[in-house]
Structure 1
Amino acid sequence: MTSGLGAALAGASSPLWARRARAGRDLASFAEVPEAAEALLGLLLDAEDTAVARQTAEALAWVGMVAAVRLIALAIAEVDDNQADWLQAGVHDALVDSGGGLGVAAVCGELARDPEEAVRRGAADISAWVVGKGF
């Protein structure tokens, strides 16, 4: 395990919200690594501070790979409407900054065929966010 990945994984369990948010940003590019994916899902579901969830969702949407967007989709299936709004805000922030709406929409198209129902539903929600904002 690289030292950057190890440090980010340690930060994901920090009692400090800013450190957890930083971990979400740092771990996003490692979304395909099982340990990172588990930590990222926990950060997306962070009940302590919505900034952690928002910044993690933004980082994952920015990365835009299937594994990253899949984690957002999984989180959507587990959160209430308020938390979903923060995840949506994070995705929106990434798309505004990157212009990657078409890429995220394409990934959601792939995830629409995922064997897991929760992923398919979450991907449909993300796709609606992307289309609804005109990306």
Structure 2
Amino acid sequence: MLSGVEAALAEASSPSWTQRVRAGRVLASFADVPEAAEALLGLLLDVEDTAVTRQTAEALARVGMVTAVRLIALAVAEADDNQADWLQTGVHDALVGVGGGPDVAAACGELVRDPEEAVRRGAAEIWVWTGDTRH
């Protein structure tokens, strides 16, 4: 792996919320790498700071790849109400930000047929957040 990814993996378990946020932003582009995916799921469900949850969800939604959105869907399925609110806020931030997150709805369209029930459930919820009414 690249040294930047290795550094981000180390930051993902840092006691510093700012380092965990940075890790989420860096690792989002590597959502298809198993080690990064595991770290990202932990960041999405961060119990220490909601900023980590929100900004990691935003970074993954901006990436928009199916593998990135799948991680958000898994987190949504596992999240408590507070975490789910911050996941939704992060996705919303990506959708309304520069360039938006047009691939999020398309990824959800694929993920609602995922073999894993938790992914299907989370993707259906995210799809509602996107405002896409095709499902």
TM-score tier after normalising by the smaller chain length? over 0.9
Identify the residue that residue 61 of structure 1 maps to in structure 2. Answer: 61
Identify the residue that residue 48 of structure 1 maps to in structure 2. Answer: 48
What secondary structure, in the 3-state scheme, does the structure 2 residue paired with 1:77 have? helix
- Identical-residue share of aligned pairs (%): 78
**Take 1:36 and 1:99, find their aligned partners in 2: how far apart are those partners?**
23
Give the 5 Å matches for 1:31-110: 31-97=31-97, 98-101=99-102, 103-110=103-110
**Take 2:58 and 2:79, find their aligned partners in 1: how far apart are those partners?**
16
Work out whether 1:19 is the aligned partner of 2:19: yes
Dislocated runs of 4+, deviation >2 Å: 98-101
**Contact 2:62–2:100 (CA under 8 A) maintained in structure 1:** no
Query: TM-score by structure 1 length?
Result: 0.95
**Take 2:101 and 2:15, find their aligned partners in 1: how far apart are those partners?**
32
Instruction: Give the unaligned 5+ runs of structure 1.
Output: none
**Take 2:64 and 2:48, find their aligned partners in 1: how far apart are those partners?**
25
Instruction: Give the unaligned 5+ runs of structure 2.
Output: none
The C-alpha deviation readout for 1:23-45, integer Å capped at 9, x for no partner, is 00010000000000000000001
What secondary structure, in the 3-state scheme, does the structure 1 residue paired with 2:6 have? helix
